Chain A
Amino acid sequence: MILDGKCPTGPIEQTWDKHRFDLKLVNPANKRKYNVIVVGTGLAGGAAAASLGELGYNVQAFCYQDSPRRAHSIAAQGGINAAKNYPNDGDSIYRLFYDTIKGGDFRAREADVWRLAQVSNNIIDQCVAQGVPFGRDYAGYLDNRSFGGAQVSRTFFARGQTGQQLLLGAYSALSRQIKLGSVKMYDRREMLDLVVVDGVARGITVRNLVTGAMESYAADAVCLCTGGYVNVFYLSTNAMGCSVTANWKAHKKGAYFANPCYTQIHPTCIPQAGDYQSKLTLMSESLRNDGRVWVPKKKEDCGKHPNEIAEDDRDYYLERKYPSYGNLAPRDIASRAAKEQCDDGRGVGPGGRGVYLDFADSIKRLGEDTIRERYGNLFEMYEKITDENGYKRPMRMYPAPHYSMGGLWVDYNLMSNIPGLFVLGEANFSVHGANRLGASALMQGLADGYFVIPYTIGGYLATVKPGQVKTDHAEFKKCEADVKAEQDKLLGINGNKTVFEFMREVGGLMWENCGMARTKESLETNLKKIPALREEFWKNVKVTGSGAELNQQLENAGRTADFLEFSELLCRDALHRNESCGGHFRSEYQDAGEAQRDDVNFCYVGAWEYKGDNKEPELHKEPLKFDNVHLAIRSYK
Chain B
Amino acid sequence: MSDHKTMTLTLIVWRQKNASDAGKFETYTAKNITEHHSFLEMLDCVNEDLIYAGKDPIVFDHDCREGICGMCSQVVNGAPHGGQDRTTVCQLHMRKFKDGDTIYIEPWRARAFPIIRDLIVDRSALDKIIQAGGYTSCHTGGVADGNAILIPKPVADEAMDAAECVGCGACVAGCPNGSAMLFTGAKVSQLAILPQGQGEAARRVMNMTNTMTECGFGNCTNHYECMAACPKGINVKFIARMNREFLKAQFA
Contacts and interface: CB of A to CB of B under 8 A. Distances in A.
B160 to A, nearest CB: 4
Interface residues of B, number: 82
Of listed B56, B63, B70, B156, residue having the most chain A CB within 10 A: B63
Nearest to A53: B140
Interface in A59-91: 65-70, 72, 74-75, 84, 86
B156 A124 contact: no
Of listed A75, A136, A141, A500, residue having the most chain B CB within 10 A: A136
A136 B140 contact: no
B10 interface: no
A416 to B, nearest CB: 23
B36 to A, nearest CB: 4
Interface stretch (A125-133, A426-434, A588-596): A125-133
Contacts of A175: 127, 130-131, 134-135
B184 interface: no
B51 interface: yes
Contact of A131 (B63, B147, B157, B194): B194
A552 B59 contact: yes
Interface string A132-143: 011111111110
Contacts of B120: 550
A178 B44 contact: no
Given A173-B140, A385-B93, A544 B156 contact: no
A133 B93 contact: no
A86 B136 contact: no
Contacts of A130: 135-136, 138, 196
Given A67-B167, A500-B48, A125 B145 contact: yes
A586 B127 CA distance: 47
Nearest to B211: A179
Contacts, number: 219
B152 A86 contact: no
Given A67-B123, A72-B69, A187-B124, A451 B36 contact: no
A172 B130 contact: yes
B140 A133 contact: no
A292 interface: no
Interface in A328-352: 350
Interface of A: 47, 50-51, 54, 65-70, 72, 74-75, 84, 86, 122, 124-131, 133-142, 158-159, 161, 164-165, 168, 171-173, 175-176, 178-179, 185, 187, 210, 239-241, 273-274, 276-279, 281, 350, 380-381, 384-385, 387, 450-451, 454, 498, 500, 542, 544-545, 549-550, 552-553
Given A129-B138, A273-B36, 16 more contacts: A66-B61, A66-B71, A68-B127, A70-B69, A70-B167, A122-B141, A130-B196, A131-B135, A159-B164, A175-B135, A187-B124, A279-B65, A279-B66, A385-B93, A450-B140, A498-B48
